[in-house]
Every structure is written in C-alpha cells, then in structure tokens.
Amino acid sequence: MKRVLFIISLIFIGLSVKAQDGEYHVRIHGQENKGIVLDAPVSSIDSMYINENGKLKVRTTNNLYSFDFTEVDSLTFPFIPASTGDIVYINYNGTSAEVINPYPVTEVIVTVSEAKVSITSLSSSNITYVLSGTANPGRFELESTTTPTVKLNGVNLTNPTGKAMDLTCEAGLILEIVDNTTNSLSDSAESDKKAALMSNNDLLVQGNGTLTVTGLVQHAVKVKGQFNMNSGNIVIASSVLDGIHTEGLLVQGGNINIQSCGDDGLTSELDGYIYGGNITITSPTADINGISADSTLVINGGEINITLTGADANCIKADKELTINGGTFVLNNSGAVSKGIKSNSTITLTDGDFTITSSGATVIANNDPSYCTAIKSDTDIIISGGTFNINLPSSNNGGKGISCDGNMTISGNNTINIETHGDGATYTATSGTDTYSSSCLRAEGNMQILSGNITLTSTGKAGKGIKVGSKNGNTYTGTYTQGNTDGTGPTITITTSGAQIGSGGGWPPGPGGGSSSSTASAKAIKVGGVATVYGGTTDVHTSTSGAEGLESKTQINIEGGQHYFKCYDDCINSSGKIFFNGGVTVCFSNGNDAVDSNAGTAGAITIGNGVAFAYTTKGNPEEGFDCDNNNYIRITGTGIGISAGGSQGGGWGGGGGGGTITNPAQGYKFYTSSYSFQAGKYYTLSNASGTGGSNMVTFSFEANCTSNLALITATGMVSGSTYYVKYGNDAPTNPTTSFHGLYLGGTSSASTQAFSFQAQ
C-alpha cells in the first residue's frame, strides 16, 4: 500500500505544474460502474492517503473527501484543456462514455454506467454540457436547479430501455444544436417511457445544426413546460404518438420537420404561439392534428406546410380561439371530414397567405352529413386581411371553403379565391330524404362582407357561392350584409355551373319555384334571413336550372353599390319583399324571371331611389319584374326601374298583363304591347321624339328580348306626360354611370323611335 501511495506521490510531483493551455486532474473511478466519484485539479490537492480504517482520504484546498478504498476501481489523470472553463464534456464511444468534469464531484455529480450518463448539478452556475459521439445503448440524464445549456455537437444516442435524453431542470434548459452538426436521439419499442427526448421543464432550442428524433413508444419529444424554438433544425423521423408534445408552445424561428406521427404533429396542452420559423408536417394517420393547442393558438408569422391524408384530421386546430396575424400557409387535407384550419371557438384572420386544398369526402353518420372543409369554426369567423386561395376538387363532394356555425365577418384588405368542384347529393335524414352540397362561404348565423376582393366558383351539383342562415321548421334565420352605408364595399364575383339535384316541385311551378327537400339547385348567394346590400360591386353568373343569383327566404334590400346578375334562373328571388332603395342593379335571366318576389302583398317589389334594369329572354310567362300581381309593385322614390320580358297573361294573382300602382312617387308605365328589343342597340328613354330631348336613361340588351310586358319609370317622369323610347347604334357619350348596358347621364344619339307612351 505504501508503494502505491509513493508512486502516486511521484505522479503528483510530475503533474502538479499548471500549463497555460490547461492542467491535469485526478479522477477517482468507483467500482461497479459507479462512474467518476471525484474529479479535481491536481494543483488543488494538498494530500492523498489511506488511513488505518482503509479509507482513501483526499484533501483539497477547500474540502476533505473520504472513500472506501475497496470501492475504488481506478485512478486516472486526464489533461483538461484550459478552454473547457465551466464546460462539462460528455464523449460517447459505442458502449461507453467519458465525462470531462472541471467541477468538484460534490457540485456536479456524475454517474456513468457503460454509455449511460447521469449528471446532477448542485452548482449555482448555469453550466454548459457538450455532448458528442455515438452510443447504443446510450443515454443522457441531467438534473439541475439552474438553467444549463446542453450542446449537441454531433451526438447520436439510442436507448432501447428508456429515454435517450431526460432533462430535469427547475429553471428551464437551453438545448443548443451546434452549427453544421447532425445529431440523433431514439428510444425503441421496448422502452417503457413516454418520449425519446424528455424535458421536465421549459426547453429553449437554438443553434443551426440538425437534430433528428425518433419516438418508437409514444412521443418523439415531450416537454413538461414551454417548448421555445429560436433556431435550429428538428426532424421527427417518426413517432408512435405526438411528434412534439408540450405544455406550452412558442416558435420564433428555426425549422421543424415532422415526417410521420401516430397522433398530433406539434401539440400544446396550453396556449400556442408561432411567430416565425418553418414548420413542415406530413402524416397519413386518421383523427390527428398537424399543429394543435388545447387552449388558444396565435400565429403571427412563419411558413407552415402541412399535408394530412387521414380521415378526421385537422392541419391546424385550436380548442379555443385561433388567431392568425401573418405567415405563409400551404395546407392539404385529403381525408374524409378533414379540416385545413379548425377551431372550437372564434377564428380571427388578420393577415397571411393561405393556399388550402381540401379534397376529402363527406361522411353520413347518424343521418347527418359531416364535411371536409378548408377553414371551419364552431362559433364565429372574423377575416380582416390576408390572401386566400382555396380549392375543393371534385373528390370533395359536399365540403365548404370557409364555414362557421356562428357569424362570419369579412372586412379589411383581403383577397379571397375559393373553388368548389364536388357534386352535392341526397341522403337519408331523420325527417326523410334531404340534400347536401358544397359552399364557398358558409355561415349558419349572420354574414357581413364589408370589403375585400372575393371570387367564388362552384361547379358541382347544387353548389353555392355564399350560403347564410338555417331553417328551423318554417322559420329562417341568418342575415346577409354586404358593403357599408356610404356605398363602399367588396368586389364580389360568383360563378356557379352545377346542375340541379332532383327535379323542381312545389309552388310556384318552374325552376325558380319551391322544391321538396330532395331537390337542390346551385345558388350564387342564398340567405335565410334578410339580405341587405349597402354597397360594393357584385358580378354573378349562373347557368343551370334552378340556379338563382341572390335568394332570400325573408327580404332583400338593395341600398347602394353596383350589382350585375346574369342567371339562367331568377337573378334576384325572395319569398318576401324586394327593395331597390339605392345603387345600380342589372339583372339578365335567360331561363326565368329576372326579379321575382313571392311576398304576395303590396310592396312586393319596390322602386325607391335605386336603379334597377331587369329583363328576361325566356319569354312567357317569365317577366323582368314578377311579384304575382303587378298591382303589388310600389314606386316610393325617384329611382329608375326598367323591366322587360314575357307576360303573365292572367297572372298568378290576377294582375293581368298590366296593372295600376298605388300612390306612385313619380310617373310610370306598364307597356303591354309586344316589342322586340335587339342586342347591340342602345335604347334611350327621353321626353322628346327624334334627336334631342333629355337622356333619362339608356339601356342595352345582351341578347334579343321579346317583351310583352315592360315597366318603365325614371327620375322626373310625370303622370300624363308623353315619353319616347328611341334607339341608335352608339352608347351615350360621357355618361355618369356605365354599367352592363345601363347608362345614366351623358348625351345620347338615339333617334329612331321604338315606341312612345303616356305615363300613368
């Protein structure tokens, strides 16, 4: 024994001199893989001896350590470079690991068993740990009361019996992926733990290297705190459950790539915040979420690309409010009943660039259809900005572009382009046979579109551009408001071309009439409650049987703006009254009435201070203005009303071919003689024959229109005075309004008389 101590003493003498680039340490290794039990600089050791009780005593400058000599395996004297400073190095090599620890063993306690390293830090310092090398089986465990930094410097660990990395740091931890390095962590199917990488407190990820994590039991990464990513690259190669499961989420930069997961990709038990970075998620699994938060989710930036092919899957999901203020989104959800963006509460979208393809099928369960939708809220949707390109291909046979169970408000500087191509169908409902079909914009409650540039296209059977409200028994709810009271508003273009489901029926007969619950038609805008159009520009095209332009089951008010409807069926239809109180409206139907009210009472169609030009080329019995009885029409202002088309003959309500309007605010005329208006001609209403006279209004037809009943009223018309309709080949010059064949103001060159009349 004395010889052993003598040899050690000689070693101390040779190693005790410090070098500028570092110094030697003495390490005492314990028996039975207990690891390093003491690591101290040689210069700090005053003495080392074995006492009479067989204890190895080591006295340093500040402490006296005691070890049972029989439990000591070996002593080593590594040279620790000066650059290590306060850094602990862990180097893995196959089935073993080496730890270089510059701290006293009572401050940083290191246990090494083969390639499984466990460190407990009692230091008040924020220590840095650098990991490198490869081990299988391998593990790194760390406990600390401070905020350490763990640097991954080309480390690859696989642990077949548990977590590859287990971090318990009360004040959180910084995980730095060293620049230009590749690292990997994996558990295995035999593990009884919940993640390959586990942090029991907050975890901040930074650096510019790459970390690949594989979770073969449950999650790949689990954080019992906030997962905060500033930079770096994290790849989830696969996970049995969640790719990254955390209590709180904050992504400010870096790249997250989740390639396959058995449950959610990136999920937070509490709030989630994404301010930047790039997130890519791909999964074929059903009933999962790409990005999800059990509470609120806020996204302010970044690039998010998610492709989910499983049924009932949601690319982005929040259980509470979901707010997106910016970012670029490419979302593809192709599973049945899947969603691109989904919230159980309000969705607020203020900015962002959205490209969403939702191609999944509709599923009927318990006599109720469920749809694949691009953006869906169980309550309200508020859009005040952003660019939206949404496509529902033909495989999506009943889905919605943007849909909510509550109210929808669209305002601000937005661009919305939505296409739906799938066919609607009939299904067996609780009450009997019913139908479902796609809608570009859908609100069960009320809808306001106050501004923006909106283009909606629906090509599938019975597809809708905009659908608002619902029906409970014989009661319809859900109001539609377009534009603002000053006449400003959105630019809305809607095209539908889908065929009718079933055949027409109900009352009144014809494509524009009522229908049974087993029939449905394409509609540009369908509203249950009152539809009020204050402003903006509307351009509507429909082309199939039953396909109406603007339909309300309650009432329609046109208060301002400019609106054009070119429809096969009714351009404007209401079960209630229709008011033209402002704005300019042009309606051209080639298969039914241009404007049709089924209110069956006085004021069914009212010309206030608005301008309405309505004509149909279908012929008898379809009309420009149809309200079942022409006596129901009212003129309450100084607007303009021009209608042309067939005649009801005896009329559904006994109104005959003409009629008398009660207490009109200005002169009018029901012109009942047959006249053929020709496309390409410009017809001017004037108070003088031949050339000259005032241009009260000029109108031009897109197609030849043989009219047996025309209503004419215009600003300044006086009962008893004679007026002339004359035509020419040129539009008026310098009109104040020129809109789809309707011209107000300017100078007309029309001189050939079509007909004249005396105002009623």
The domains of the chain are located at 2-82, 85-270, 669-758
Average the pLDDT over 140-169 and give the result.
95
Q: Which residues contact 586 (CB under 8 A, 6 or more apart)?
A: 563, 564, 565, 612, 613, 614, 739, 740, 741, 742
Q: How far is CA 642 from the centre of its chain?
A: 43
Locate 302 and state its tokens.
Answer: 């970044």
d(CA 326, CA 314): 19
Q: Tell me: pLDDT of 306 over 80.
A: yes
pLDDT score of 79? 66
Q: What pLDDT sits at residue 85? A: 59
Q: What percent of the chain has pLDDT over 90?
A: 78
- Element holding 10 (H helix, E strand): helix 2-15
Lowest mean pLDDT among 430-434, 566-570, 714-718: 430-434
Q: For residue 511, what pLDDT is reported? A: 37
Q: Indicate the helix (H) or strand (E) that contains 175.
A: strand 173-177
Cβ neighbors of 524 (< 8 A, separation 6 or more) are 456, 464, 465, 466, 494, 495, 496, 540, 541, 542, 547, 548, 549, 550, 565, 567
State yes or no: pLDDT of 1 exceeds 50.
no
Q: Considering the chain, what is the average pLDDT of its residues?
A: 90
Q: For residue 80, what pLDDT band results from cuts at 50, 70 and 90?
A: low
Q: Report the sign of the C-alpha dihedral through residues 620, 621, 625, 629, in that order.
A: positive
Question: Where residue 564 falls among pLDDT bands split at 50, 70, 90?
Answer: very high
pLDDT at 575 over 70: yes
Q: Which candidate, 684, 661, 614, places its Cα nearest to that of 760?
A: 661
Q: Give every CB contact of residue 14 below 8 A, 6+ residues apart in sequence.
A: none
Residue 737 CA, distance from chain mean position: 38
C-alpha span between 558 and 549 (Å, rounded):
14
- Rounded Cα distance between 539 and 136, Å, is 67
pLDDT at 26: 76
- What is the end-to-end Cα distance of the chain in Å, rounded? 132
Percent helix, percent strand, percent coil in the chain, to nearest 5: 5, 55, 45
Query: Average pLDDT in the 526-543 region?
Result: 98
pLDDT tens column, 660-708: 999 999 999 999 999 999 999 999 999 999 888 889 999 999 999 999 9
Helix (H) or strand (E) holding 7: helix 2-15
Residues 6+ apart with CB under 8 A from 334: 308, 309, 357, 358, 359, 360, 395
Can you read off the two tokens belonging to residue 667? 């002169």
Distance separating alpha carbons of residues 340 and 357, to the nearest angstrom:
8
Lowest mean pLDDT among 318-322, 419-423, 617-621, 639-643: 617-621
- 488: number of Cβ within 10 Å: 14
Each residue of 376-397: pLDDT tens digit? 999 999 999 999 999 999 999 9
Cβ atoms of 507 and 451 within 8 Å: the answer is: no
3-class secondary structure, 535: coil
pLDDT of residue 265: 97
Q: Which helix (H) or strand (E) holds 578?
A: strand 577-589
Q: Between the CA atoms of 707, 713, 715 and 721, what dihedral angle is there, to the nearest 10 degrees?
A: 110
Query: In this model, does residue 507 exceed pLDDT 60?
Result: no
Torsion of CA 544, 546, 549, 553, to 10 degrees: -170
Euclidean distance between CA atoms 758 and 723, whole angstroms: 6
pLDDT grade, residue 81 (50/70/90)?
A: low
